[in-house]
Amino acid sequence: MRRAIMLAEHGRTTVSPNPLVGCVIARDGEIVGEGFHARAGGPHAEVVALRAAGEVAAGATAYVTLEPCAHSGRTPPCTQALLAAGVTRVVAALQDPHPVAGGGADLLRAAGVRVDLGCCEEEARLQNAVFLHGLATSRPFVVIKAAASLDGRIAAADGTSQWLTGEQTRRRAHELRAAADAVIVGSQTVLDDDPALTVRMPGYDGPPPLRVVLDRRGRVREGLQVLDTAAPTLLHRGGLDELLAVLWERGVRSALVEGGASVVAAFLRAGLADRLVLHVAPVLLGARGRPLVAGDWPATLAAAPRLHLHDVEQLADDAVLTYTLRPGSRTEPASATPERA
């Protein structure tokens, strides 16, 4: 199953709005076929693995990260493919909560196939956090990414911030962009830095994320990179809840918030952030540096929000800290709006 989870990850930048799914076909203790879901509308992981296995799939076990689908969409149901191939056992990490696609386990059992659910469930659940979150909330999964100094500053007193982190960490930032359907920034960031907000990785062939600029006052002007033809751009002049509803309707299932400090603070205060990825640079910028989050925050430690540390990674001299947030957790005042956006 862990091999299937590894395979599923290959679809990270291309499967949206579908889930990440990997499949391994094993017989007599040997892997005879494997595959992953690469693109929405393309063959599902089970079908790819069965094709690789060929006739030896008969009597084999299929290890799949998500319960095989039982409905016909843009592709035929995977349950049908598994039955046609003669697979006698299916082990799935997650039960599919989708109201239409779910139910494959019951269909397979009714046909005489042994089905076991729950193997490596937590790993698979974490991998498909975006898909599961969307089904539960009907809004995009929001990741905040920020680069900061050891003392929590995103820029020096004069506004310079390039480059706080090293090359490896900046590459990781582009991996986060590649995995997102949209990238969100405030208009001040666009005016200050003129960022392209595109994915710049060797060999990347996935779709560019939608560039979203929070521009309440209509300050974004022609000639800035964010308005070029390298990727689509949305200039949004409303609030955050309205924005997430608009993005959901446009098919955005994951959004990466890249700043600035007022935008980051607004998402945290409103309880609309699901994950925080903090790139920490080995530098000190002092009290005059620009803070990671803007505005007023709780005056007491007891009232300060606490995040759950999920992962720590070292990249050269930088640290990448990944935190998860409780659904709907917010910090007053919740009505705060991005300053200078």
- pLDDT tens digit sequence for 233-248: 999 998 899 999 999 9
The verdict on 176 and 311 lying in the same domain is yes
How confident is the model at residue 107, as a pLDDT?
A: 94
Residues 279 and 190 in one domain: yes
Within a domain: 331: no
User: Is 9 annotated in the active site?
Assistant: no
In the listed set 131, 160, 191, which residue is the last one of a domain according to the structure?
131
- Token couple for 4: 């299937």
CATH at residue 265: 3.40.430.10
115-119, 151-155, 302-306: least confidently modelled range: 302-306
pLDDT at 226 over 80: yes
290, containing H or E segment = strand 290-291
pLDDT at 337 (0 to 100): 44
Residue 273 has pLDDT above 90, yes or no: yes
CA distance 298 to 318: 28
Q: How large is the average pLDDT for residues 12-25? A: 95
Average pLDDT estimate for 176-197: 93
Is the pLDDT confidence value at 336 over 50? Answer: no
Which pLDDT score is estimated for 335?
Answer: 42
Instruction: State the average pLDDT for the chain.
Output: 91
Same domain, yes or no, for 189 and 316?
A: yes
Indicate whether 76 and 176 sit together in one domain: no
Cβ pair 173, 143 in contact under 8 A: no
Residue 101 pLDDT exceeds 90: no
Residues 44, 164, single domain; the answer is no
331 compared with 273, residue with greater pLDDT? 273
Shared-domain flag, residues 219 and 286:
yes
CA dist., res. 242 & res. 104, Å (int): 36
Check: CB of residue 154 under 8 Å from CB of residue 164: yes
Residues in Cβ contact with 196 at an 8 Å cutoff, skipping those fewer than 6 apart: 225, 226, 228, 230
pLDDT value at 278 more than 80: yes
**Average pLDDT of span 53-71:** 95
Q: Using the 8-state DSSP alphabet, how is residue 33 labeled?
A: E
pLDDT-derived band at 329 (thresholds 50, 70, 90) equals low
Q: Which of 46, 55, 242, 313 is catalytic?
A: 46
81: exposed, middle or buried (Cβ count in 10 Å: 0-12, 13-18, 19+): buried
Residues 167 and 243 occupy one common structural domain: yes
CATH assignment of the domain containing 54: 3.40.140.10
pLDDT of residue 295: 83
Polymer length of the chain = 341
Strand, coil or helix: what is 317?
A: coil
Domain count, the chain: 2
- 329 within a domain of the structure (yes/no): no
> Do 218 and 307 share a domain, yes or no?
yes
Last residue of a domain, one of 75, 105, 131: 131
Query: Where among 110, 131, 152 does a domain terminate?
Result: 131
Give residue 162's identity as a one-letter amino acid code: Q
Distance, in Å, from the CA atom of 3 to the CA atom of 119, rounded to the nearest integer, reads 12
- The letter for the amino acid at 262 is S
Tell me which amino acid residue 206 is: G
3-state secondary structure of 251: coil
Q: Is the pLDDT of residue 194 over 50?
A: yes
> Global pTM?
0.88
User: How would you list the strands of the sheet with 114-117, edge to edge?
Assistant: 30-36, 22-27, 61-66, 89-94, 114-117
Asked if pLDDT for residue 149 goes beyond 90, the answer is: yes
Domain limits at 147?
139-324
Residue 81 lies in a domain: yes
The pLDDT of residue 333 is: 46
